[in-house]
Structure 1
Amino acid sequence: MKPHHRFALALTGAMLISSLPAGAASLTERYEALRTEQPKLALRDAAARLNVSEAELLAANGIGKTVTRLQEGDNVPREIMRRALDLGKVMALTRNENGILERTGVATHMKPQEEVTGLDADKEKEREARMRNIAGGYLGGEIDLRFTFKNWKYAFAVAQPGKDGAVSRSLQFFDASGNAVHKVYVKSDAGVAVFDKIVADFRNPVQSADLKVAAAPVKKAEKPDSAVDVKEFQLAWNEINDVHQFNRLLSEFGVTREQGLRLGPVDKVQRITPQAVRQLLEQAAKQQIDIMAFLGNDSAIQIYSGKINKVQEAGGYFNVLDPEFNLHLRDSAFVSGYIVKRAGVVNVEFYDKDGREVVSFFGVRSRENPVPQAWIDLTVALPKASANNQASQ
């Protein structure tokens, strides 16, 4: 399209939006005007432009047509995801502000577990919390997820024509602020009947687009570095014998995750450039190194394990574009990266300007190869942050 044509189209769209009376224009009308201006704009980005949440825009534009509002309640999201285990082949999508992970495959059911007795109070409490945040499966395998269901609020079933004309069916979940938590897309004919049954069983009797969306919670102020006993923190870090103990360490010292990395032992944390993520993915693909990618939000974390092949920049993201795995990273929004060593495990983490972790990578370990040397060598070669860059972070 010629530049003057693009300008004319954008101007027309802007005039359409501005011509709608502020008090009279419905959200649907405003959205349709915006789509005239930018027909390929994703729903999440359109919602941001219209100053509403994605859940509100989805409901306003689709309920009664392509969208069915599902029930709400403390246990409902867990039960829907439990039933979703029977959908067969799906594409599971988890995202945050600057990254998206999409994995196609079949989720595994959890094997029946024997009753556990004799645990002390703390371990029993941890076990109960862990059991509340699983839905009968999704632990390992092709669709590998960790849930925090207490943060899930709204659920919708969406059935609409896809780009190829076929009907796309999905279950879409949002938090109390209307932000996308997780989405599951049906990818097999056999899953259609299961999807329809889930919609029928969990259909909300009130098909209203009126959502009581809450304001995003105010982020808790980070404790000043000067208020942290750094020496004790570093000593405690060095005593970690399991990588999963790290979150407890952060909690005990009252520090955020990135703050903990900044204050960690110098031999355990090394800063790298934010755009080192490109070299990491390019070399993992070139050398065919098995990696693990963790990407999530406050409500769900999704994990990919395996090799990657096709990596490229497109659409403002740096991407992995494999048939069964897509990763989209807006690395222009990354402001810091770290190589981290904990309990003999080395991983790489990247953060945005608000100190939020966007994505984390590990080498795939096994009993036979607990410290994959190819992964270690890859991390060592990543470009380090300059002293000036470190001082400004």
Structure 2
Amino acid sequence: MKKTYALALALALGSVLLCGAVSASELAVRWERLRAEQPRLTARDAASNLGVSEAELLATGIGQGVTRLREGELVPREIMRRALDLGPVLALTRNDYGVIERTGVATRLKAQEQVTGLDADKEQEREARLRNIAGGYLGGPIDLRFTFRNWKHAFAVAQPGKDGVISRSLQFFDGQGNAVHKLYVKSEAGTAVFDQMVAEFRHPQQQAPLQITAAPVRAPERPDSAIDVQEYRLAWQDMNDVHQFNRLLGEFGVSREQAMRLAPAGAARAIAPQAVRQLLEQAAQQQVEIMAFLGNEGTIQIYSGKIGKVQEAGGWFNVLDPQFNLHLRDNAFRSAYVIRRAGVTSVDFYDQHGDLVVSFFGVREPGKPQPQSWLDLTAALPQAPGTAGQASLQASR
């Protein structure tokens, strides 16, 4: 009986695999049908609806405006380095519950002087940092931070948009087929560069199957009782730069959201998750300059400046300015904190899995205190339900 069941199961699985091998055309038909039914559906949501990754969905268009680009450890960095020649672009980065879009021209790094005399550890750290620098994108309108080891698949797309005009973009995906970054060409002059890049980086095997991997199993959060909370809090208070925070998380083995719960008294105030609306509305109304950080495992994109138009639409809360858009599905936010680290106040918003969706800081000049307008804005954000008794953060003057 067991052998018969095993044979039947093996035949069924074989049938599934055979169907999968010839499913690209069928997937394309299903996607076209879905787009006709829900024309406003994003590619990411369409892929989820159809039970595939976004990269697999995009690959159904290979040969019809979609070109697969070469893969390899250093290739994504080189593509992004060449993309500096595109001129004005729209840079789009997203995660499950947030999207950030910025239009502008990416800045280039100045030539770096030769560095010598570093010890082995410092040299290894420097090499790792350089692997994630693509010759620019640090500061300026297109402000990006890369983790290129998580960039696995790339495509060049030249297809008509809803207005019939050809839209050209470079689209990058991780090993699971999730989008890590997209760049859209925004000038006629960029078209020739885009075409050259397609020819230069074209994958030699356009129809080869994508190697999509399963998402890694999420490691369980360590219990609070396993953390040396006293030492952790002392280390928090010893920070003199907010960039030391990630190292602190690794040193004590805490998740980012757990770090908020275990923070020293007055260092992390729990606020209502939907307070993001008040934060953005007040920043727009008072013209407070903000920094917004939003990203995924492959890319973090940063916006710095004032915002104007904010509104809710279709289950998202949005900033809709000419050169900057931010879209947040804030009904999926589970927790949020106003945080004080190394004398800097910021605000984090987390989803139901405890993953960071978006962070906000106040813009300040180097060596100067944080603007009081930013401190007042964050101090006014409402407490999380059931935390009214917590000590509030003290805004620095």
TM-score, normalization by structure 1: 0.91
**In structure 2, C-alpha distance between the alignment counterparts of 1:226 and 1:292, rounded to whole Å:** 35
Q: Secondary structure at the match of 2:277?
A: helix
**In structure 2, C-alpha distance between the alignment counterparts of 1:33 and 1:298, rounded to whole Å:** 31
**Equivalent residue, structure 2, for 1:377:** 376
8 Å contact kept, 2:317–2:330? yes
**Equivalent residue, structure 1, for 2:322:** 323
**Equivalent residue, structure 2, for 1:37:** 37
**Equivalent residue, structure 2, for 1:178:** 177
Residues 1-59 of structure 1, C-alpha deviations (whole Å, 9 max, x = no match): xxxxxxxxxxxxxxxxxxxx999782112222322322332211111011000000010
1:281-360 to 2 correspondences below 5 Å: 281-360=280-359
**In structure 2, C-alpha distance between the alignment counterparts of 1:164 and 1:210, rounded to whole Å:** 32
Residues 154-210 of structure 1, C-alpha deviations (whole Å, 9 max, x = no match): 000000111222110000000010000000000011100110000000001111162
Residues 355-380 of structure 1, C-alpha deviations (whole Å, 9 max, x = no match): 10000000001036331111011000
- Following superposition, the deviation at residue 131 of structure 1 comes to 0.8
**In structure 2, C-alpha distance between the alignment counterparts of 1:253 and 1:148, rounded to whole Å:** 23
State the identity %. 69
- Following superposition, the deviation at residue 225 of structure 1 comes to 0.7
**Equivalent residue, structure 1, for 2:15:** none
State the one-letter code of the partner of 2:45: D
- Following superposition, the deviation at residue 389 of structure 1 comes to 9.6
1:124-143 to 2 correspondences below 5 Å: 124-143=123-142
**In structure 1, C-alpha distance between the alignment counterparts of 2:173 and 2:388, rounded to whole Å:** 36
The farther-off stretch of 238-247 and 379-388 is 379-388
**In structure 1, C-alpha distance between the alignment counterparts of 2:136 and 2:369, rounded to whole Å:** 25
**In structure 2, C-alpha distance between the alignment counterparts of 1:203 and 1:387, rounded to whole Å:** 56
The farther-off stretch of 335-344 and 203-212 is 203-212
**In structure 1, C-alpha distance between the alignment counterparts of 2:198 and 2:155, rounded to whole Å:** 9
Query: Residues 48 and 280 from structure 1, CA distance in 2 versus in 1: closer, same or farther, beyond 3 angstroms?
Result: same
- Following superposition, the deviation at residue 388 of structure 1 comes to 6.3
State the one-letter code of the partner of 2:38: Q
- Following superposition, the deviation at residue 212 of structure 1 comes to 1.4
- Following superposition, the deviation at residue 267 of structure 1 comes to 1.4
- Following superposition, the deviation at residue 315 of structure 1 comes to 1.8
Q: Secondary structure at the match of 1:140?
A: coil
8 Å contact kept, 1:43–1:54? yes
State the one-letter code of the partner of 1:197: Q
8 Å contact kept, 1:100–1:329? yes
State the one-letter code of the partner of 2:251: E
Q: Secondary structure at the match of 1:84?
A: helix
State the one-letter code of the partner of 1:85: L
State the one-letter code of the partner of 1:48: S
Residues 236-276 of structure 1, C-alpha deviations (whole Å, 9 max, x = no match): 10000111111111100011111111101121110000000
**In structure 2, C-alpha distance between the alignment counterparts of 1:49 and 1:141, rounded to whole Å:** 37
**Equivalent residue, structure 2, for 1:47:** 47
Q: Secondary structure at the match of 2:361?
A: strand
**Equivalent residue, structure 2, for 1:224:** 223
**Equivalent residue, structure 2, for 1:199:** 198
Query: Residues 201 and 151 from structure 1, CA distance in 2 versus in 1: closer, same or farther, beyond 3 angstroms?
Result: same
State the one-letter code of the partner of 2:63: G
**Equivalent residue, structure 2, for 1:245:** 244
Q: Secondary structure at the match of 2:204?
A: coil
**Equivalent residue, structure 2, for 1:268:** 267
8 Å contact kept, 1:72–1:155? yes
- Following superposition, the deviation at residue 211 of structure 1 comes to 1.0
Q: Secondary structure at the match of 1:112?
A: coil
Structure 1: gaps (5+ residues): 1-20
**In structure 2, C-alpha distance between the alignment counterparts of 1:335 and 1:389, rounded to whole Å:** 17
- Following superposition, the deviation at residue 350 of structure 1 comes to 0.2
8 Å contact kept, 1:90–1:187? yes
- Following superposition, the deviation at residue 118 of structure 1 comes to 3.0
Q: Secondary structure at the match of 1:387?
A: coil
Residues 274-323 of structure 1, C-alpha deviations (whole Å, 9 max, x = no match): 00000000000000011000000000000000000000001210000000
**In structure 2, C-alpha distance between the alignment counterparts of 1:350 and 1:122, rounded to whole Å:** 34
State the one-letter code of the partner of 1:163: K
**In structure 1, C-alpha distance between the alignment counterparts of 2:182 and 2:234, rounded to whole Å:** 41
8 Å contact kept, 2:346–2:359? yes
State the one-letter code of the partner of 1:36: A
8 Å contact kept, 1:228–1:253? yes
The farther-off stretch of 32-41 and 179-188 is 32-41
State the one-letter code of the partner of 2:183: V
8 Å contact kept, 2:270–2:387? no
**In structure 1, C-alpha distance between the alignment counterparts of 2:389 and 2:331, rounded to whole Å:** 17
TM-score, normalization by structure 2: 0.90
- CA RMSD in angstroms comes to 1.8
8 Å contact kept, 1:63–1:209? no
Structure 2: gaps (5+ residues): 1-18, 391-397
Query: Residues 370 and 130 from structure 1, CA distance in 2 versus in 1: closer, same or farther, beyond 3 angstroms?
Result: farther
8 Å contact kept, 1:87–1:191? yes
Q: Secondary structure at the match of 2:292?
A: strand
**Equivalent residue, structure 2, for 1:56:** 56
8 Å contact kept, 1:59–1:209? no
Residues 86-110 of structure 1, C-alpha deviations (whole Å, 9 max, x = no match): 1000000000000000000000010
**Equivalent residue, structure 2, for 1:15:** none
**In structure 1, C-alpha distance between the alignment counterparts of 2:388 and 2:121, rounded to whole Å:** 42
8 Å contact kept, 1:271–1:390? no
